[in-house]
Structure 1
Amino acid sequence: MSAWDDLDDRLRPAVEASTREFTRVRPQLEAVTEEMRRSISAIFDPSDLRPLFVTARTKTVESFRDKASRILAPTEPGAVPALVFPDPLRNLTDLVGIRVITTLPHEVDLAANLIKRQRQDFDCRGDREKDIGSIESGTYGYSSRHLIMRSIHNDVVRRYQQALDPDSKAGGSYLFEVQVRTVLAHAWSEIEHDIRFKASNPKAWSPYFDRQFTGTAAMLETVESAFAELHERYETVTGFWDEAGEGSAPLTPNRIRHVWKTLLPHVDRKADDNWGWAAELLAAHGLRTTLELVALLQADTITTVRRALDHRYSPGPDRLLDDMLLWHYGQRHIDLTAEAPDAESTPRRDSLQRRMRSMQNYRALQENTR
């Protein structure tokens, strides 16, 4: 049941009059909608932030009538209730709605703040985080950033205002709504809106629907967090390859640990957290920058080395780094990091020699099968 269906008969004439007026000027308002969409979309052209898409909609006549029919509870029994929006064409701020859809959660705030900074074209009159199920309440639901923006001296808005009231002075200022949310939250909210809020028969509703929506919202939050973590890792890894930036950072033990745990978090050090041994191994070959370490730790090479040595046990960082250096530098790695050939005991040299022979045999086998 809609608010219009339940509306007090004494208020119907006023709502019908507003609805007729809205129907008359709606074509001009659609032009305002497209102008606002174009203006908001253009904000991102010179920026590094690229929303997936920017869409817009003008409120439908049916939706307008329903919202204009909302009432306040009467203060006295039997009194005529008051309309929440006595002049809906001027009271409602969502007749024009813009949606900015981003990929990742952190981009929501970036997009909203970028829009708010366009003070030559817009004035932000409201900014709130709207969610159905907030963190504070311990529930789940989609979240979006809702901005109430006001256009400034816009000619398209002036034409709409003149159509609405030819006798008034058209200033070109108009309030409209901008919603900014992620693509996953957008999909969730669209489906939920269709099922929960557009259900024509409330008797067909089941409490299990609420349970399912809560469950999908929880999964949505988990997936978004995973994507956010993946993006952060990607940004970190690409920074390692920046020769003039992160890539030039020197390889201290802490730096090596950070790079390793970013690139190979599944190959963890089981003993202490002192990575001085790694710095010494790398320095023996003159490898002293982050870029040189990430170039060494290429995934396809690691896979090849694992196959060549057919490790009985999954190697930890110390063994795997040693093997990678041996793969790249061969006998030089042995001479630089093992005991002298004439030492009384040479366990490390012997182990490296055995591993190098396995690598050589693997390489020869791969060459013969080509």
Structure 2
Amino acid sequence: MKNEVIDWYIKTRPTYKRLSAKIEALLSEVFEMENISYHIITSRTKTIESVRGKISKDKYDNPKEQIQDFAGIRIITYVEDEVAKISELIEKTFDIDHENSGNKSDDLGLDKVGYKSVHYIAHLDKSRLKLPEYKQYENKCFEIQVRTILQHTWAEIEHDRSYKYTGKLPTDIGRRFKLLAGMLEMADREFNNISNDIDAISENTAISAEKGDYNIPISSTTLTTFLSTKFSSVLGGEPIIFSDRDGILVGEMERFGLKTLDDFNKIIPDDFNKTLKFLNEKARLSDFGLVRRVLMINDYNKYFSIAKDDGFTVWTSYDDGESKFFKHYGVDWDDIEDKYGVMLTD
């Protein structure tokens, strides 16, 4: 029977390989449509050698039906909350074999740490199987694993190292291994909490900005939300382009003497939104572009002598629109070039 199963799988494997790729592509599209963030999606099809090794253990009466992971998809998320959102979408998108699916962390018990992952055994739903391109996958199941980056790290290390021992790990190594797993689990939860806290700060900043309350400390998060709210009419409803990942812009604002969003809001000219239209290019309205323009038209000597980051040396887009914009506010670029050596390019 074992040879018969292998012969069957050699013939059938190409179909499972196509199925794996189809599910990966389908999930990518679903996540994009639902604006769900994730780290990566990968797919794989069991190798012939892997199947041969699996059926050699004599634990299957009918391997063709009992082995449910010939096709497999793995989704790696950044934080735990994304696992829940993705799991919900998976359950809506496919027919789930709930009896053979579950959350591995539920099996650990209160006194255990270790491998965590959400596993689904799924089939394509009936409506999709009616389509000609999916008909060939009828009665074929696939496995979907969902886990965070840190959960994936633990699982890969455990699989590579722990399984190399034929018996129980030595007590001291086993204890250290479990302690490390606990630390990873705690780190995973803390990353998730931090992510939620950042989202809360952004949401609260947006609410305060709409009410005109800007007494909020400047950070990359609060600044980006403030700019998106303050200049929503100019941006056409699109969020501001965030690029201050190293805190360079916030550093410039601090050196300029700005501590809160209210400090910054007070130096934005009343006609700033109107004059931004000189530029005629939404792509330029990043956090850097907006803030630096405000600082320079407020006091360009102060900006270039005290606040400017050393890495900002050239204003590369000084075209007719830029010229009109800065002339409107009395910014003398000849003076800037003479005093600070900032060369402009046309």
TM-score by length of 2: 0.58
> Equivalent residue for 1:91?
66
Per-residue CA deviations over 1:65-120 (Å, capped at 9, x if unaligned) read 2322344xxxxxxxxxxxx32221222111111111100011001001011112xx
Question: Is the Cα contact below 8 Å between 1:93 and 1:175 reproduced in 2?
Answer: yes
Change (3 A) 1:209 1:133: farther
> Equivalent residue for 1:145?
118
Per-residue CA deviations over 1:5-28 (Å, capped at 9, x if unaligned) read xxxxxxxxx223212321232223
Question: Is the Cα contact below 8 Å between 1:147 and 1:179 reproduced in 2?
Answer: yes
> Equivalent residue for 1:39?
26
Per-residue CA deviations over 1:329-357 (Å, capped at 9, x if unaligned) read 9xxxxxxxxxxxxxxxxxxxxxxxxxxxx
Partner SS, residue 139 of structure 1 = coil
Per-residue CA deviations over 1:294-320 (Å, capped at 9, x if unaligned) read 168998699779x9xxxxxxxxxxxx9
Question: Is the Cα contact below 8 Å between 2:75 and 2:146 reproduced in 1?
Answer: yes
> Equivalent residue for 1:128?
102
* Residue from 65, 81, 97 that aligns with 2:52: 65
Q: Which amino acid aligns with 2:215?
A: L
Partner SS, residue 117 of structure 1 = helix
> Equivalent residue for 2:144?
178
Per-residue CA deviations over 1:162-189 (Å, capped at 9, x if unaligned) read xxxxxxxxxx232111111001111211
Change (3 A) 1:19 1:208: farther
Per-residue CA deviations over 1:247-278 (Å, capped at 9, x if unaligned) read 446xxxxxxxxxxxxxxxxxxxxxxxxxxxxx
TM-score by length of 1: 0.54
Partner SS, residue 147 of structure 1 = strand
Alpha-carbon distance in structure 2 between the residues aligned to 1:296 and 1:40: 38
Residue 222 (structure 1) aligned with residue 186 (structure 2)? yes
- Runs of 4+ off more than 6 Å: 296-305
Which has the higher Rg, Structure 1 or Structure 2?
1
Partner SS, residue 231 of structure 1 = helix
Partner SS, residue 49 of structure 2 = helix
Name the count of aligned residue pairs. 236
CA RMSD of aligned residues (A): 3.8
Question: Is the Cα contact below 8 Å between 1:102 and 1:183 reproduced in 2?
Answer: yes
TM-superposed CA distance for 1:222, in Å, is 2.0
Q: Which amino acid aligns with 1:123?
A: D
> Equivalent residue for 2:215?
293
Q: How does 1:313-324 map to 2 (within 5 A)?
A: none
Alpha-carbon distance in structure 1 between the residues aligned to 2:90 and 2:73: 12
* Structure 2 stretches lacking a partner, 5+ long: 223-249, 267-301, 307-346
Alpha-carbon distance in structure 2 between the residues aligned to 1:45 and 1:325: 36
Q: Which amino acid aligns with 2:120?
A: L
Alpha-carbon distance in structure 2 between the residues aligned to 1:96 and 1:20: 17
Change (3 A) 1:46 1:207: same
Question: Is the Cα contact below 8 Å between 2:216 and 2:262 reproduced in 1?
Answer: no
Alpha-carbon distance in structure 2 between the residues aligned to 1:235 and 1:140: 29
- The share of aligned pairs that are identical, in percent, is 23
Q: How does 1:229-248 map to 2 (within 5 A)?
A: 229-242=193-206, 245-248=207-210
Alpha-carbon distance in structure 2 between the residues aligned to 1:38 and 1:296: 40
Going by fraction, where is helix more abundant, 1 or 2?
2
* Structure 1 stretches lacking a partner, 5+ long: 1-13, 72-83, 162-171, 250-288, 308-319, 330-365
Alpha-carbon distance in structure 2 between the residues aligned to 1:103 and 1:42: 18
Alpha-carbon distance in structure 2 between the residues aligned to 1:206 and 1:295: 52
Alpha-carbon distance in structure 2 between the residues aligned to 1:70 and 1:155: 37
Question: Is the Cα contact below 8 Å between 2:208 and 2:214 reproduced in 1?
Answer: no
Partner SS, residue 104 of structure 2 = strand
Q: How does 1:241-256 map to 2 (within 5 A)?
A: 241-242=205-206, 245-248=207-210
Q: Which amino acid aligns with 2:140?
A: Y
Residue 56 (structure 1) aligned with residue 43 (structure 2)? yes
TM-superposed CA distance for 1:325, in Å, is 10
Question: Is the Cα contact below 8 Å between 1:104 and 1:224 reproduced in 2?
Answer: yes
> Equivalent residue for 2:12?
25
Q: How does 1:2-21 map to 2 (within 5 A)?
A: 14-21=1-8
Residue 102 (structure 1) aligned with residue 77 (structure 2)? yes
